Amino acid sequence: MPLSLERAKYGAQAHTDEVGALPTPFPRTIGPNAGRYLQEVLESGLTVDMIGRFERAFTEAMGVKHCIATPGCTPALAVLAASMPWEPGDEVIVSPVTDYGTVQGLIAERFIPIFPDTEPGVIDFSARTIEPCITDRTRAILAVHMTGTINDMDAINALAEKHGLFVYEDVCQAVFGQYKGRIAGTLARAAGFSFDSEKTMGSDVGGCLVTNDDALAERARFIGQSRGAVMQPHFGRLHSVAGYAYRMPLCTAAICLGQLEAIREQVAQRDRMARLLSDLLSNIPGVTSLPIPSYMDVYSCWMMGFSIDPEAFRCTPEQFAEQLAAAGIPGAGLGKYYLMPAALTCLHEKVAKRQYPYSIPPASREYRYSGDCCPNAQRFLETYIRWTTFCEKYQPEHCELAAEIVSSVAAKNRV
């Protein structure tokens, strides 16, 4: 790492510079029983089945057959990737605007992430933008519900079915959001969740995967938790697959269980406040809030934000965001780093050097990773300003205050 660059920060550490009267996620609201569950972990001398209890409770809350608790969504998606029968050089179509955690497991397995563009003016891709990216090497579509806006999964599933592709979801930013009456994470064949301290169900470093597929669940547990080991009589562990030790810690499971008891009401509050704030922001000339698709019954908003019309203001979007942060919008900034084809310089370099799996074979064609591969997404992120995160502590007066701050910064900079 060049010494002039700062290392990325996560969790509460990333929020220390925020100023103003608006609520921030930290200190987190913790479900009232979490302390009791933590006590059980300690008093049992680490023997209590807290992980199993959380997994069963989450399974029931989601209405799915299997939940496998992990230390985060990055490991959950890595376990799913490692559980698939695909070969190095096979392609997986992924939302272009997302976090690195979405793709880490694909890269580790030497699969090739392919990023279709988004639809103009929104943050998610669509069946229309995905279709031209499908080749004979495509194996799956991984849909990320960015900020909490859920992809149109019926259309994506119909397209996938036509081409025999596996579809799964990254639900990190849409926990307990709902699409046409169904919960995000039950809209495809599997899903990964994050319960990282900054996330909607913040419980320290944690996550899980869910699925209704018995064989996939069994394989994911074997690879992700048993490190791919089977017991050989008179010998011991035989590692028939190079697996992982991605088990959720007992203390995280205790906090997750406590948080799960409180989450539905918290998400309902996020939904109400995000819709109110979106309406208030859209009344400001030159400001457009992120569209909330009409098929979404519950907007589990993790990150609030809006686009500005650069023609309407004298300052740059970056300067607009800096003024917002100084005036009290927590961590206001641009989210350009979410543009994965631009952020994955490690893959760009592999392509340039034709390193495996970008050698031919196993790859079957040339690849390119840069921002201009997804011009709609790139254009969108150049003028999209977001809070670091949104939270369930917002009340109507906070939405009004936030809209007033945005309105006064807009008025000061209007041409």
Ligand X SMILES: Cc1ncc(COP(=O)(O)O)c(C=O)c1O
Q: Summarize as ranges the residues that interact with ligand X (CB under 6 A).
A: 72-74, 98-99, 101-102, 144, 170, 172-173, 194, 196, 207
Q: How far is the CB of 301 from ligand X (least distance, A)?
A: 13
Q: How far is the CB of 73 from ligand X (least distance, A)?
A: 3
Q: How far is the CB of 389 from ligand X (least distance, A)?
A: 10
Strands (E) located in 228-300: 229-232, 236-239, 287-289, 296-298
Distances 221 to 18, 86, 88, 214, 215 between C-alpha atoms, Å? 40, 18, 22, 11, 10
Closer by beta carbon to ligand X, 72 or else 317:
72
Q: How far is the CB of 286 from ligand X (least distance, A)?
A: 28
CA dihedral of 172, 173, 178, 182, whole degrees rounded to 10? -20
Tell me the H-state helices in 363-395: 375-382
Closer by beta carbon to ligand X, 196 or else 271:
196
Distances 357 to 134, 285, 376 between C-alpha atoms, Å? 18, 48, 28
Closer by beta carbon to ligand X, 91 or else 198:
198
Neighbours of 227 (CB within 10 A): 16
Closer by beta carbon to ligand X, 151 or else 323:
151
Q: How far is the CB of 120 from ligand X (least distance, A)?
A: 21
3-state secondary structure (DSSP) of residue 176: coil
Q: How far is the CB of 378 from ligand X (least distance, A)?
A: 18
Closer by beta carbon to ligand X, 208 or else 277:
208
Neighbours of 196 (CB within 10 A): 22
**DSSP β-bridge partners for residue 168:** 142
CA 47/CA 309 separation, integer angstroms: 57
Residue type, 200: T
Closer by beta carbon to ligand X, 222 or else 338:
338
**DSSP β-bridge partners for residue 92:** 113, 140
> Which positions ≥6 away from 19 have C-beta within 8 Å?
325, 326, 328
Nearest position to ligand X, beta carbon: 101
Q: How far is the CB of 115 from ligand X (least distance, A)?
A: 14
Closer by beta carbon to ligand X, 126 or else 323:
126
Q: How far is the CB of 338 from ligand X (least distance, A)?
A: 8
> Which positions ≥6 away from 3 have C-beta within 8 Å?
none
CB 137 within 8 A of CB 165: no
Q: How far is the CB of 96 from ligand X (least distance, A)?
A: 12
Closer by beta carbon to ligand X, 90 or else 99:
99
Choose among 170, 118, 125: nearest CA to 144: 170
Residue 249, Ramachandran bin (φ over 0: left; ψ between -120 and 50: alpha; else beta): beta
Q: How far is the CB of 43 from ligand X (least distance, A)?
A: 28
3-state secondary structure (DSSP) of residue 186: coil
Closer by beta carbon to ligand X, 8 or else 415:
8
Choose among 364, 71, 15: nearest CA to 196: 71
Neighbours of 312 (CB within 10 A): 14
Closer by beta carbon to ligand X, 251 or else 409:
251
Closer by beta carbon to ligand X, 125 or else 358:
125
Distances 352 to 209, 231, 349 between C-alpha atoms, Å? 34, 43, 5
Phi and psi at 136, nearest 5°, equal -75, -5
